[in-house]
Amino acid sequence: MNISHHPSEDLLLDYASGALGEAWSLAVATHLALCPGCRRVVSGMEALGGSMLDSIVPAPTSRNTLNAVMTRLDAMTERDAAVPAAPPADGHTPILPQPLRGYAGADADGLNWQRLGLGAYQMPIPTGDKGVTARLLRIPAGRPVPKHSHGGLELTLVLSGAFSDATGSYGRGDLQAADENLEHQPHAEPGEDCICLAITDAPLRFSSLAARMVQPLLGI
């Protein structure tokens, strides 16, 4: 897997410090399940955060704190490097890694997808976050999503297939963060339906009248 679009450092720091809401955290945690590089970064942030808490009460062995942090960091890095990536015992790699699969209740082929129109499907993912919507989207291979901008923040994590827009191409594990400044028309790449996790805190703003008219029906 070749992931080229990662969460920003700010987003990872918010995640590591527990400042992110549940739905946003689900997107970051699912990216981490697929991205060893970001797992190492988050482990480092957590280790440094822990050492900063420890240093509030100076310990007599404080001159060894840095060594302790580095040792802990090495241990975490080795542990994390050894964790996911390996396929499950039956050799079938799920489309939805944990923790997302647990939230959805099944892997992608076992879900009750809701029809959105234009061949697209969605599967809402309940979280405890009020005002933030988490859903899986399935866009048919080779088809566009109507051009839209955003009333707030949108995180999109690709799980299967790929999509592209003016900002680049996004495949499995890639995360796109879009805000009010980005107007785009994502296009599912040919060959395979694009399944992605989308987190939004405001409705999308569609450019075309036709898309705006069906928007209330689609709930997006």
Which stretch in 5-13, 15-23, 77-85, 211-219 sits in contact with Zn ion by CB under 5 A?
5-13
Please tell me the count of residues contacting Zn ion according to CB under 5 A. 3
DSSP assignment of the chain, as one string?
--------HHHHHHHHTT-S-HHHHHHHHHHHHH-HHHHHHHHHHHHHHHHHHHTTS--TTGGGHHHHHHHHHHHHHHHHHHSTTSPPTTSPPPSS-TTHHHHHSS-GGGS-PEEEETTEEEEE---S-TT-EEEEEEEPTT-BPPPEEESS-EEEEEEES-EEETTEEE-TT-EEEE-TT--B--EEPTTS-EEEEEEESS-EEESSHHHHHHHHHHT-
CB-nearer residue toward Zn ion: 33 or 35: 35
Among 38, 95, 123, 198, binds Zn ion (CB under 5 A): 38
Which stretch in 28-36, 109-117, 154-162, 178-186 sits in contact with Zn ion by CB under 5 A?
28-36
Among 16, 26, 28, 35, binds Zn ion (CB under 5 A): 35
Among 6, 138, 150, 184, binds Zn ion (CB under 5 A): 6
Q: What's the closest the beta carbon of residue 177 comes to Zn ion, in angstroms?
A: 12
Binding site for Zn ion (CB under 5 A): 6, 35, 38
